[in-house]
């Protein structure tokens, strides 16, 4: 399956991307979509609709690009397309989009037992199957403990952290701390 990343600022995909973003992420984990869109229009973040060869919407990938490292902040697959390799295709498209750069993502921790541990373990496994490495540090991301994963090689906490201030401001960045 071939996936193309189309900027969400392309009005054809804006509403679909917003609907998936809002349904895929709990309110406490997401920023206002209008805020994200404004940041994208200012060139601070990149919001993509993942589209197949027929132009059909398959999912989203929202990134914060840096000079050498890109933060994959949000990725989600349209519910009717889950379990069909779309997530892997989206991740592959992100890797291709940012060739020559390292990609960093974070996931809710699998280190402490929780009610949604099976979901967390599947998410971690998904990234590992795609070649992501688990970093040797965790972060407190605005009150949520998260594990950090990177592709194709390690990303230091400093490299990870320095992506936030330019995209979201110093106050936001100050609430992302290494544990």
pLDDT tens for each residue of 83-140 = 999 999 999 999 999 999 999 999 988 887 777 888 889 999 999 999 999 999 999 9
Q: DSSP of 126-151, one letter per residue?
A: HHHHTTPEEEEEEEEETTEEEEEEEE
pLDDT for the residue numbered 112: 77
Read off the pLDDT of each residue in 156-171 and give the average, rounded to a whole number.
97
Write down the mean pLDDT value for the chain.
95
More confident position, 20 or 9: 20
pLDDT for the residue numbered 9: 85
- Confidence band, pLDDT 50/70/90 cuts, at residue 35: very high
**d(Cα 5, Cα 70) in Å, to the nearest integer?**
15
Tell me what percent of the residues of the chain surpass a pLDDT of 70. 100
pLDDT for the residue numbered 116: 82
Read off the pLDDT of each residue in 60-78 and give the average, rounded to a whole number.
98
Q: CB-side exposure of 1: number of CA atoms within 13 Å?
A: 20
Domain that holds residue 83: 4-178
**d(Cα 68, Cα 102) in Å, to the nearest integer?**
6
The reply to whether omega before 148 is within 30° of 0 (cis) is no
Say which CATH number the domain at 106 has. 3.40.630.30
Q: Is the pLDDT of residue 73 over 90?
A: yes
pLDDT for the residue numbered 115: 76
What angle separates helix 117-129 from helix 86-97, to the nearest 10 degrees?
Answer: 50
Integer CA distances (angstroms), 20 to 13, 79, 128, 168, in order: 11, 8, 24, 22
pLDDT for the residue numbered 119: 87
This prediction has a pTM of: 0.95
> What's the domain count of the chain?
1
């Amino acid at each position: 399956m071939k996936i193309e990343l189309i900027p969400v600022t392309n009005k054809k995909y804006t509403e679909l991307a917003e609907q998936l973003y809002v349904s895929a992420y709990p309110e406490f984990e997401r920023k206002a979509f209008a805020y994200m869109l404004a940041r994208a229009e200012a060139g601070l973040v990149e919001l993509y609709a993942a589209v197949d060869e027929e132009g059909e919407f398959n999912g989203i990938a929202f990134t914060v690009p840096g000079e050498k490292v890109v933060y994959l902040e949000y990725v989600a697959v349209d519910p009717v397309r889950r379990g069909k390799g779309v997530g892997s295709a989206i991740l592959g498209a992100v890797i291709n989009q940012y060739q020559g750069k390292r990609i960093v993502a974070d996931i809710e921790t699998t280190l402490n037992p929780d009610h949604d541990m099976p979901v967390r373990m599947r998410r971690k496994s998904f990234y590992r199957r795609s070649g992501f490495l688990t970093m040797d540090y965790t972060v407190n991301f605005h009150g949520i403990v998260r594990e950090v994963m990177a592709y194709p090689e390690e990303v230091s906490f400093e490299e990870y952290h320095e992506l936030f201030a330019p995209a979201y401001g110093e106050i936001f960045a100050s609430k992302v701390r290494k544990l």
